Amino acid sequence: MSDTKRVTDEEALLLHSSGRPGKLEITPTKPLTTQRDLALAYSPGVAVPCLRIAEDPSLAYDYTAKGNIVAIISNGTAVLGLGDLGALAGKPVMEGKAVLFKRFADVDGIDLEVDTRDVDEFVNCVRFLGPSFGGINLEDIKAPDCFIIEERLRELLDIPVFHDDQHGTAIIAAAGLINACDITGRRIEDVTMVVNGAGAAGIACAELFCTMGVSRENIILCDTKGVVYRGRTNGMNQWKSSFAVETDKRTLEEAVAGSDVFVGLSAKGAMTPEMVKSMAAKPIIFALANPDPEITPEEVKAVRGDAIVATGRSDYPNQVNNVLGFPYLFRGALDVRATTINEAMKVAAAKALAALAREDVPDEVDAAYSGRRLRYGPDYIIPVPFDPRLIVTVPAAVAQAAMESGVARKPILDLTSYKHSLRTRLDPTADSLELILEKVRTNPRRVVFAEGEEERTIRAAMAFRAHGYGTPVLIGREEVIREQLTAMGQPNVQFEIHNARLSDANRRYADHLYRRLQRKGALLRDCQRMVNQDRNVFAACMVAQGDAHAMVTGLTRSFGVAYEEIRRVIDPKASEPVFGLHLSITRNRTVFIADTTVHVRPDGKTLADIAIGAAAKARQMGHEPRIAMLSFSNFGQTPHPNTDPLREALSILDSRRVDFEYDGEMSADVALDYQLMKRVYPFCRLSGPANVLIMPGLHSANISAKLLNKMAGGQMIGPLLIGLDKPAQIVTMGASVNDIVTAAALAAHDSLPW
């Protein structure tokens, strides 16, 4: 790998200086738009929580942001790999750490740069600031000062104190070690290991490896003066001495020979190809020096094709990246108000990371890494930072370990609900869907996956079953599906598979289809051919004949084609239109958009029917509908024949006396901006911003939904197919595995009795 920088100095400086300098700002969480808001948030209202906290200090977690704030504190004596730059020069790194806390775990980080190199002064400064925060993240402090500072602050404070340079690296490396041992067939208790680098990270890694089961006698620690052995006096301290072993080896080269594992936390070039050759079979090499590893993966592979290699760099597989640890470790610790971060919590984090790496990786993660297929094996032993499952997996494991080890002051009584709350912190769709998904888990259904030979379909079926939504049924040739499973590394997974051409149900399905189509120009043999050859028709027949509850399709054919094939078998519900519904979901708002797929130019009656169906779906998903009939015009402001159907729809809704709010015609800005609506059109009947938008035609609806999907920054679900007599959902051809699972779960939910 070239040493060429991936970013230039000018690019880095421009990012930090453009717009508002730096990488942080503070945003209020309460409104401050009226005099009353001011009176409640500040004087006189603020006096009330002050008095309550004075009576009971624990109430600070209830009335202030303390429980979600971590102080990121450094004196700048070991900034990255740059050395002692001082407190102020370390500030960009501390700001960056705060950004990572927020981005990955929704923890608010406040950076504090303490301008002293004196350990006592540093400790006193931090101890007296302690009440302001829920936790302390120490950063970029040189060894051995960092050991002393952390130890003393942990004794003085009743909140978690964590030196990430030590323990963050150790946790991620331990997760990688668990899986590397698994892949190479080793027991962690039996491995022999060399740790090169006796600073903060090296000592912490060695300590955690011992906690995980590595024998202390099987670890040889090396520093710039060679092996740390019993009896050595030069360059020693109490932390190195705890790893001194009886050995006649004196150099790194001698120590590495025959060893199973090399962990480097030292400097570029410390490991040579000759040393790699001397290691045991299937060596495990963690070359973690930054920015340049002790030896590159290319250099290792040139001499040992059986090695597993990890580095600290993002441009190689198996990156040991601290961002996999510290945000989630603190998230779990804060949520149970832990008094400390102990060894049990670190081990739990490492094991959770290792277990996650063995699971199937979502498409969204592959896409974030240039489409590289991430699959458990020698080149994927550690999850990657943009895996959305980390926010649930690691904090939940850490919180549980804190409770079991007795350091949690606020135990979590319902871990399932807690995991759901973690999902909603970063995924706005989770909260909207949870009630529906929980109902499906309580009432599992049989769902047909029509395109059963597609890899994404197979992975979605596996996830559907793993989530407890029911039984997936795959349509396709069994031998092809088995080949796909083997290629995916899942040869033993079993599914119910139906080959449309060979199924015993063919005749029954063909007769059913013939009864429907015989007066529409279809012969019996035409129906037999459709059932035999068209998986969508076959899947729809399974649902129509009661052999399954619902179906999902769409990966290999356009929406229009798939819809036409399903409609040959399944009718609309009586007196209801079939229409498409998209959900645009952001952290603060969910908006339903209809009709996005079926009706090109709906008349007034169809628009009214769509509004009723969309309102019912919104309620089913936990939202009280407020419907806006959208147009370019506001309440007759610009009379035009194109607005006539909207006004007709309003009249129909009036006559039907529906039980939801609606109004129009109105423009999109008025519908979504309630202050604008009430200021300019105070007669509007909506009591808040619209959350169901009925579009005047397919062009505007489909374009709007797709623009929002690409530009709004939230999540888009859909199109949901509403109004069929039997549940079927059609995903887009570019749908991810998660999209397919969601569509299948929603189809399953549609099959439940209301």
By annotation, the residues acting in catalysis are: 42, 97
Q: What is the 3-state secondary structure (H, E, C) of 445-486?
A: EEEEECCCCCHHHHHHHHHHHHCCCEEEEEECCHHHHHHHHH
Contact between residue 527 and residue 503 where contact means Cβ atoms under 8 Å apart: no
The position carrying tokens 């769902």 is 447
- The two tokens of residue 93 are 């790194």
The closest of 245, 227, 190 to 212, measured between CA atoms, is 190
Burial class (CB in 10 A: 0-12, 13-18, 19+), 549: buried
CA-CA distance, 206 to 176, in Å (whole number)?
14
Angle at the Cα of 330 (from 366 to 340), degrees rounded to 5? 145
Helix (H) / strand (E) containing 309: strand 308-311
Q: How many residues are there in the chain?
A: 754
Is the distance from CB of 427 to CB of 522 less than 8 angstroms?
no
- The radius of gyration of the chain's CA atoms, rounded to the nearest angstrom, is 31
Write the CB contacts of 622 (distance below 8 Å, at least 6 apart in sequence). 432, 435
How far is Cα of residue 712 from the mean position of the Cα atoms in its chain? 18
Assess contact for 171 and 350: CB atoms under 8 A. Answer: yes
Take residue 578 and report the two structure tokens written for it. Answer: 């079939």
| DSSP helix/strand/coil, 591 | strand
Give the Å distances, CA to CA, from 597 to 294, 449, 539: 56, 21, 21
Considering only CA atoms, which of 565, 614, 563 is closest in space to residue 591? 614
**How many Å apart are CA 377 and CA 358, to the nearest integer?**
8
Pairing of strands 193-196, 161-163: unpaired
**Cα 179 to Cα 709: distance, rounded to the nearest angstrom:** 37
In the Cβ-directed half-sphere of 702, how many Cα atoms lie within 13 Å? Answer: 12
Distance CA 153, CA 141 (A): 14
Measured in degrees and rounded to the nearest 5, phi and psi for residue 273 equal: -55, -35
Contacts of 280 (CB under 8 A, 6+ apart): 192, 258, 259, 260
Paired tokens of 202: 């090296």
For residue 535, which phi and psi values (nearest 5 degrees)?
Answer: -65, -30
Q: State the Cα–Cα distance between residues 147 and 503, nearest whole angstrom.
A: 69
- Chain centroid, CA 417 distance in Å: 17
Question: H-type helices in 488-582, by residue range?
Answer: 506-517, 524-533, 535-544, 559-567
Pairing type for strands 470-475 and 590-594 reads unpaired
**Residue 705 DSSP label:** H
Tokens for 506, please give them.
Answer: 């063919």
- How far is 126 from 215, CA to CA, in rounded Å? 36
Report residue 656: phi and psi, to 5°. -85, -10
Q: How far apart are CA 91 and CA 112, in angstroms?
A: 8
The strand pair at 579-585 and 715-722 is best described as: antiparallel
Q: Is 617 in a helix, a strand, or coil?
A: helix
**CA proximity to 715, closest of 744, 692, 742:** 742
